[in-house]
Amino acid sequence: MEKFGLIGQPLGHSFSPEIHSHLGDYEYKLYPLLQTELKDFMHNNPLSGFNVTIPYKTDVISFCNELSEKAAEIQSVNTIIKRADGSYFGDNTDYYGFLDLLGDNAKKIKGKKTLILGSGGTEKTVRTALLDMGASPVITISRSGKDNYDNISNHHDAFAIINTTPVGMYPENGKSAITLEHFTKCKLVIDMIYNPAKTKLLLDAEKLRIPYSSGLYMLVSQAKRASEIFQNKSIPHEKVLEITSTISRKTKNIVLIGMPGSGKTSIGKALAKISNRPFLDTDDIIANEKNIDASHILSTKGESFFRKIETEVLQEVTKLSGAIISVGGGVVTVPCNHALLHQNSTVVLIERDLGKLSIKNRPISQEKGIKELYRERKMLYKSFSDYTFHNHNINKTAKMINSKLLTHN
């Protein structure tokens, strides 16, 4: 079996091995390299070829004996083949992946000001593609260039913004290089990051109702083209959408929200079992960290104190991929939790007849009463949720969620 892989640093966020497992019958592994390790790897590795990601897309050029026309033009390489004599041929499949990601938007950006955030190897590829598609002017925003984050206000009239920096990438979720609200003419935002599924930049675009896209589709598209080079055979383009859908479904968490006593924890455990995913309950995490259960914290310290701890826990658990997460009933009362829940998850509201909701060990339910608590939170639950399922039976509800959201139909 031929061996391929991905080099870069860091690589803990990468979905590439999973993607390539759908593209061909070959080994594909991650090879995280420090800068000091790159030279030795390039001279001594067992691979027939490999992909290259940040920060080495430019550095590997000096090791290549020949470049494709597009790689030479862009001066960035993300796909390398080892030829029979041991020499390297460098190509750039990111270019074609980005064009694929643009799709119909390629027509819309023609003649329009487009900003690229970042000045690394990916920026070179994106700039070339944008210019080829007729975007004008194309402005690169860097930390120290002529156009930088200090004078970015000069470009608040941009039509499109493409982020090629790692700002906001797992595990540094929740960060963004810019504030979108000032870009009043922006009609398209693309973030090349794919983990989390929605960076802060994309969540801000969603809030402002600006069309947006993550880099996942591009990642799969460029991987398909790289795999064609690895295997020297064509792969149907339909595989790109198929794999993108599969990866998105597999890597997104399912977060269960709803009233106290609605069955979130029980359904979550059942769903985790049938979907073979890890299960986490934020109330249990809080209890383990504080050595005291959530209801006691609410009773003795008050709700605001508890919500602060809860949000801190959410900041970590919602960075995960492919988990089932049950959260407290009042999580929706803290506005910033909306972004945390949606950055990498599908949010599911569990509803249950109010008369069946227990108030045992639930201080807020006891204090306010079920009906009043539901009245206060009803619209918040709706605004937070992507899907709603009614809990008539724990196992049946878990199976319904699995069939709807986790099983390929």
- pLDDT at position 408, please? 67
Confidence of residue 276 (pLDDT cuts 50, 70, 90): very high
Please name the amino acid found at residue 323.
Answer: A
- Output the pLDDT for position 359: 79
Q: What is the pLDDT of residues 318-339, one digit of tens each?
A: 999 999 999 999 999 999 999 9
Provide the Cα torsion 405, 222, 160, 119; round to 10°: 120
Does 222 have pLDDT greater than 80? yes
Written in H, E and C, the secondary structure of the chain is CCEEEEEECCCCCCCHHHHHHCCCCCEEEEEECCHHHHHHHHHCCCCCEEEECCCCCCHHHHHCCEECHHHHHHCCCCEEEECCCCCEEEECCHHHHHHHHHCCHHHHCECCCEEEECCCHHHHHHHHHHHHCCECCEEEEECCCCCECCCHHHHCCCCEEEECCCCCCCCCCCCCCCCHHHCCCCCEEEECCCCCCCCHHHHHHHHCCCCEECCHHHHHHHHHHHHHHHHCCCCCCHHHHHHHHHHHHHHCEEEEECCCCCCHHHHHHHHHHHHCCCEEEHHHHHHHHHCCCHHHHHHHHCHHHHHHHHHHHHHHHCCCCCCEEECCCCHHHCCCHHHHHHCCEEEEEEECCHHHCCCCCCHHHHHHCHHHHHHHHHHHHHHHCCEEEECCCHHHHHHHHHHHHHCCC
User: In 3D, which of 277, 405, 403, 397 has the Cα closest to residue 347?
Assistant: 405
Burial class (CB in 10 A: 0-12, 13-18, 19+), 85: exposed
pLDDT of residue 365: 85
Neighbours of 12 (CB within 10 A): 10
Averaged confidence pLDDT in the chain: 95
Work out the average pLDDT over 13-26.
94
CB distance 173 to 201 below 8 Å: no
Kindly report the number of other CB atoms within 10 A of residue 275's CB atom.
20
302 phi/psi in degrees, rounded to 5:
95, 160
Average pLDDT over residues 188-204: 97
Confidence of residue 300 (pLDDT cuts 50, 70, 90): confident
Query: What pLDDT score does 292 carry?
Result: 81
| Least confident span in 31-35, 238-242, 289-293, 392-396 | 289-293
Q: In which band, very low, low, confident or very high, does the pLDDT at 61 lie, cut at 50, 70 and 90?
A: very high
Could you give the CA distance from residue 96 to residue 129 in angstroms, rounded to a whole number? 8
Residue 409, pLDDT > 70, answer no
Per-residue burial over 141-158, b = 16 or more CB atoms within 10 Å of its CB, e = otherwise: bbeeeebeeeebeebeeb
**Where is pLDDT greater, at 360 or 126?**
126
The fraction of the chain above a pLDDT of 90, given in percent, is 90
Annotated active-site positions, please?
57
- Would you place residue 13 in the very low, low, confident or very high pLDDT band (cuts 50, 70, 90)? confident
